[in-house]
Amino acid sequence: MFRALTLLLALQLTGCGWLAPYRIDIQQGNFVSQDMVAQLKRGMTKDQVRFVLGTPLLTDMFHADRWDYVYLLERPGEPRAQRHLAVIFEDDRLARLDGDIEAAARAKEPAQ
């Protein structure tokens, strides 16, 4: 009798949503912080940019002078967080940054 009541209670709690399954955070891509972007300076080589930001998530053989860093974070019960940073090179040197991560003031200054 006790086992039957325990089973009935467990099924009832599961149906009400009190015993929801555990859901993990899902992180995909390259996390790029504002501090990392602040280290970038116009005129840096591709190797220097790779050292600061890591290997880009997306590289395109048709656009070798553009690297894309994409980051996605999904947490249960929260809206999806997504960040994108495109690093543009000209003559194998950092020319500009595009995306939703702000470039630091010194990265916008021309190289000397």
Domain presence at residue 90: yes
| DSSP string across 93-104 | EEEEEEESSPPP
Domain presence at residue 15: no
Domain presence at residue 61: yes
Q: What is the CATH number of the domain that holds 88?
A: 3.30.1450
CA 71 to the chain's CA centroid: 2
Count: domains in the chain = 1
Domain with 102 in it: 20-108
Q: Can you give the pTM of this predicted structure? A: 0.67
Q: Could you report the per-residue pLDDT of 18-74, keeping only the tens digit for each?
A: 667 778 888 888 888 888 999 999 999 999 999 999 998 777 888 889 999 998 989
Domain presence at residue 6: no
Domain presence at residue 4: no
Domain presence at residue 85: yes
> Residue 16: pLDDT band by 50, 70, 90 thresholds?
low
Residue 19: per-residue pLDDT: 64
